[in-house]
Structure formats: structure tokens, C-alpha cells
A and B are shown apart, each in its own frame.
Chain A
Amino acid sequence: MKKAYAINAGLVLTLFAVITLLFHLGILNRFHNGLILLVCINIILAVSLNLSAGFLGQLVLGHAAFMAVGAYAAAIFSKYITGSEIGLSGTPLLIVALILGGLAAAVAGIIIGVPALRLRGDYIAIITLGFGLIVQSLINYFRTYTGGAQGLLGIPRLTNFNNAYFIVVITVLVLVCLIRSRHGRAMIAIREDEIAAEASGISTVYYKILGFTVSAFFAGVAGGLYAHYLAMLDSRAFGFSYSIELLVIVVLGGLGSFTGAIVAAVVLTLLPEILREFQQYRMLVYAIMLIAMMIFRPKGLMGTYEFSVFGIFDKCKKVFVKFKRKGAQ
């Protein structure tokens, strides 16, 4: 067990070192830097949405709105701190701002989750859809704090590859460990059969609200990262289409697979850039790829499969044993 942790930690650090090296060698430039940060933000959004949509089985149509709440809360906070006498700056300021953004989004999650999730059924889809629209109007309404339609400017640029990468790692780690505990089992049971879960002694209302709130928290964290990467916020960025884009990532990766969500987030963030040479056919190719994907792999890229180093060892071992048996015959 300890070995698995060491190997995973090693892989995570190696990837970090490789990317850092590529930056130093100049193979990756500033344009790539922005792209990688967007990938990081989308990974956090995808894995957190996967918690509520994939593991809890609740259709959430307003994930971008939670991101918006977190983004504005974090941005307003760090703008205020930077302008004040409090000597907090750099990554420590970012971390405090992200936690605050996450908490703001989590509170929003509780407020809309409590009435919607007490009921059985798809009410949460409609309510989150409405929430998305309300958040955008509220941002435009409270102009003095949010900058309204002109956008919120002058946010300190605190997000960089170093801190974003490790925030992604922590997010994934927290969510994976949560899902593999008794609390995660309770959430998956709700997806599988809510009535049976309740009859097995699980408070379904509590775990639905818990899962939904944690999901909203990390959406808020992603929003905070986004705000401190762009240094400006515009409410139009957090519209319905972005929520749908995130849902596409999660469905494509496989509902209920963190590996799938991560892979899909990387691929679908980079794909529009890779397809840039197709120019006006870009969206067409993107759509065709999505349709083909759903036809050939309806359960998503990964289904509910998770990548693990030891899983691969086990598979190799099984193949080897089979081979040996054949040889002996």
C-alpha cells in the first residue's frame, strides 16, 4: 500500500519536473503556459462536476455558476487585500483567496441544494439551470462590487503553473480519497439506487447535499484560479454554454471515473487549439468527434474505470501467468 503512494507521488512529481524543464528549455512558451493553466482549471471543474454528476448521479446544469461565485468572491478579496496594508501576497494570498472562493461557492451550493435535494428526482437540473442565469444577472446588478458588464479589472495575477499544478493534485487527491471512504460509498449507493441506499441505513438527503456542496466548493476554487490567471472577470464567461461544455467533458470521460474526467478535460481543452488550422470547420469537427465518441463509447472514454499503477501490474501478472500455463501444457 505504501509503495503505491510512493509510486504515485513519484509520477506526479516527474510530470511536474518534465513540464517545468520544458518551460526552461523554451520548448513551451507563454502561449502554452496559458493553455496549460486552462487545462488545470478545467480538470478541477471536471473532477468536481464528476462528483455530483458522476458519483452522486445528480444532473447539474449550472457548474459554471458556482465557478463564477468562487471567482468573484476570490477576486474581490484579493483585490481588497492587495490594496490594503495587510502584507499578504503571492501564493499564500492566492490560497486564502481560493479557500474563500470555495467557501462562497459551497454556501451557494447549500442554499440551492437543500430545497432541491430533499426531493427525489431531477429538480436539481432545473434549479441549477435557473441558478446559472440568476448568478449572471446578480453579477451585472451589483456593479459597484463586481464591475458589472464592464468586467472586474485589476485582479492580481497570482496563478502560475507551479501553484495551479499542485492545487489540481490536491483537489484530485481529496476527491478520490473521499469517494473511496464510507462517505463516498454512500454517495455511489445513491446513484445506484436511492431507495435501496435509504433502506440500507444511509441518510440520502445528507449525502446528496454533502456531495453537491463539496462539488460546488471545488468549482469555486477553480473559479478563483481562473480569476487570478486572467486578472479580469466577465460574467458572460460563466454562461450556460460553459456549464454544458463541462458536462460534455464529464460525460465523455465517463460518469464516475476521475481518470476519464481528467483525460477528457485535457483533450477537450486542447482540441479547439489543435483544430485551429481547420478554421471555420473547427466546431464542425469538434461536434462530429463528440457524436462519434458517444456512438462508439456510450459509457465515455473510461466508463467507470480508474487508472492505477498497481492495476496495471496486476494485469501484466495475469497475462504472464496465463502465458506460462499455456507453455506448460
Chain B
Amino acid sequence: MDTVHYLLEGFGTALLPINILFAFIGVLIGTAVGVLPGIGPMSGVALLIPVTASMTGGMDPAAAATSSIILLAGVYYGAMYGGSTTSILLNTPGESSSVVTTLDGYQLARQGRAGSALAIAAIGSFCAGIVSLIGLALLAKPLSEVALKFGPAEYFSLMLLGLAAVSGLAGNSMTKAGIMTIFGLLLSTIGLDNVSGVARFTYNIPALYGGLEFLTVAVGLFALGEVFKTILHKESHDGNLAKVGKILPSKQELKESSGPIARGSLLGFFVGVLPGAGATLASFFSYIMEKKISKTPEKFGKGTIAGVAAPESANNAASGGAMIPLLTLGIPGSGTTAILMGALIMYNIQPGPLLFQDHPGVAWGLIASMFIGNVMLLILNMPLVKVFAKIIETPPKYLIPIIIAISVFGVYAVQVNTFDLILLIICGLAGYYLASNDFPLAPLVLGLVLGPMIENNMRRALTASNGDFMVFLEKPISLAFIVIAVLWIVIPFVLKLKGKKVLINEEA
């Protein structure tokens, strides 16, 4: 009964006028971010952190954190939805999680059924949102109670597992992903050590005492990196915009897609819970699964509604599922959730098992607002699909400099110094060059966010064991985590040696 009680209280929080407004702004901007080709969910969320920080400036910390995270999560799952619009109308996926949607979506659009494809995508996303919400509400409490029993050694190993999972699946080269993870962890050691208070790697530069600000690094790597790429590669989207046409799907289409939506939602949710997997893999898996169990597999790729319904439900469900490890264990499973976690930490709210004890309002308010946000997305997107389709035509001429200006504004508004602005530009350059040479960026951000916690738990565990590293292998739960982490790295490696193709997660 506890869960129902908390959930109702969460709805109380989420239904406050300000939070409804924030959820609305979040899903609205999220949809736009998903539609615009130049900005992905990661840079969208990163760019909005400073904006929300200044909007919530006058509120008390817990309420400010709730409202901000509601808005930022709205951007995250809104983008998942918006990405489908460009896939269907333009044959250009707005996000990597919508790549599969282009296969059937664009074919449907060419047959003049773009409207119903978009509507089915919206309905599928909505159902998926509800499924992942129920899963989140049911799993959050028991999981966080288990996690509360963990000691520092277990925590350290669990976080190691999270890092291994993300870097094992990110990018083509595991070596590069590993380098990026470790580099992120190293960067997190710059600044005052929060156990002993000793300054590390600061060289008397005052701006470094606080450490490299996570926000600056994330905005630089993702937002500026993508902008630089757009300028250098002259990316243009001249494709013909398909007509939207009739929006309401026919009964036949609804019937055809109900099965794929249900299966896609469930599959997507469980893929999302796994660290490192995420929305892109979820949409791929569900498409492949639908094709396998379909009675008419030859229709896939030629414009079948199930080919849109399944992956779009799956990627939305995955974005909900990804909230579970973030909220209950404090371990983000992807780049975007790492950024959400960074945002929570900025508000002095530590995601993890204690979140449900210390700040139930934040956790349950977010869960409830995801339900409200999904309703909004459905209402917003059915009639407004044509308006969003127009956003695609925003000329890059204005978009690119404005993204740079928003990045600079955002970083300055929170940090108020020039050092961070220069760091921002350096991170943007690094982000562009690293990403264009197959160095995945998400593990770096993950390392930067998790670094202090990993180090803390490691040192606490080692202090208790008098510096004996065997402590991580002696505790059974900790040993299990480490074994899984090692397998996660080793199995794909062995498969690669055998010449098998390993699925990777490009969205990260």
C-alpha cells in the first residue's frame, strides 16, 4: 500500500501548477529537440540544465530540484517521440533511436499514410510510457531497499559493473571506450578531495579547486561538438518533406499495431533497465522481434504499420526503464541519464537508494510527472504534428550560432566566470574530434559523474579492510558484480575474435 500512497503524493507534487508548466515546457522542447537534426537528447538536456537552474533560482532546493528534473526528464522522453517525426516524414532519423523507424515509416509516408504512422507512433509511445511508469512504480521501492543493504564494497563493484556495461556497448572499439571511461574518471579527481580536503592537480589555479564542472564539460562535448560538426560537414537536409495527410488511424491500423505496441513496450522497458543498452538497442530488438513473429515478414521494410509501432514504443519504454537504475541505485546506464544525474547532484540531491527515503517528493514527483508528460505528449502531438514538421525547416543559419550563444549563456549563468567559457570551447573541440574518430563521449561523462562516488566507496571499503584489495572479492554480492562486469567486457571481446558481429549502442 505504501507505493500507492507515495504515488498519490507524487501526483500531488506533479500536479502543482508550476510542475505542470515545467512538464509542458519539457515535453515541448523535447519534441522540438527530437525533430531538429542538429541536437540530440543529450545536448538538449545539457543545454537546458542552466536554463532550469536559473528559472528555479528562487525556490527552496528540494522543490527546485523536483521542478527541474521534471522538465529535464520531459526533454528526454519528448525527444524520443520527436525523433520519429523526421524519420517518417523525411527519411532522416532525428535521433539514433529512431533509425529503425525510417525503414517502414518513410515507406508509409510515400504511400500517403504519414499521418497515421505519426499517430500510431504517438499512441505507441504513450502506451510504452504508461508501461514503463507502472514498472518504475513497482520496482523502485523493492530495488532501493535491496540497495540500501549494500556496503561500500558492494557499491564500488556495482558502479564498476555500470561502467563496464556502458563502455562495453559504446562505440566500435572497446579500447577507445575504455580510454574515455578512465579519462572521465581521471578528470573527476581534479579539485579538492572530498575525503581528506587535499587539493589534487589544481596547480594553484583557483577555478580548478571546485573541480571541472560537469555541466561545462557536458554542454561542450555534446552541444558544441555537434555544432562544430554541423558547420564543418555542411550537413543539410534537403529531402522532400512528405505530406502528413490524414492523422487519425483507421480501426484496421489500430488493430494491426496493438500487438507490436504491447510487445515493444515490455521489451523496451527491460532493455532500458539494463545499463548500457538503452533506446537504440531496444528499438532494433523490437523491430527484429516483430519481423520474426509476424505472419507476413515480407511486408517489413515496405511500409507496414507494425514496423513503426514496435520500435517507437520500445524506445520510449526504454527511456522510462533507464530511470530505474538511475533513481534506485544511483547508477546512470546511458549518457543522457548521466546528465540527468549530474543535474540532480547540482541540486545536492544524490540519486540512489536513499533518494526514496530522503527525498520521496523528488522521486515520486518525477515518476508521476512522467505519466502527466506522456498524456501531454499525446494531446500535443496528435493535432500539432504538422506544426512540429515545420520546425524541421528552421534554417541552420540561425540555429547554429544560437545554440552556441545558449551554451555560453548557460555556462556563464551557472558558473559566472570566463575560465568555464574557455573550458567549454575546448570541450567542444575535443568533443568534435573525439566523436568523429569513434571515441564515444558518453562513457567520459559517465566517468566524470560517477568518479567521486566510485572513489569514495573504494576508499571506504579499503579503509575498513586496512588497504586489502581482496575485500571486493571476498564479499559475495560484490564478487558477483565484479564477475558480471568482467564477463560483460570479455564476452563481446571473445565474440569479436570469433568474427561475429556484435551489436553496439550508438546512442550511448
Q: Do A and B bind each other?
A: no
Residues on B close to A: CB < 8 A?
A: none
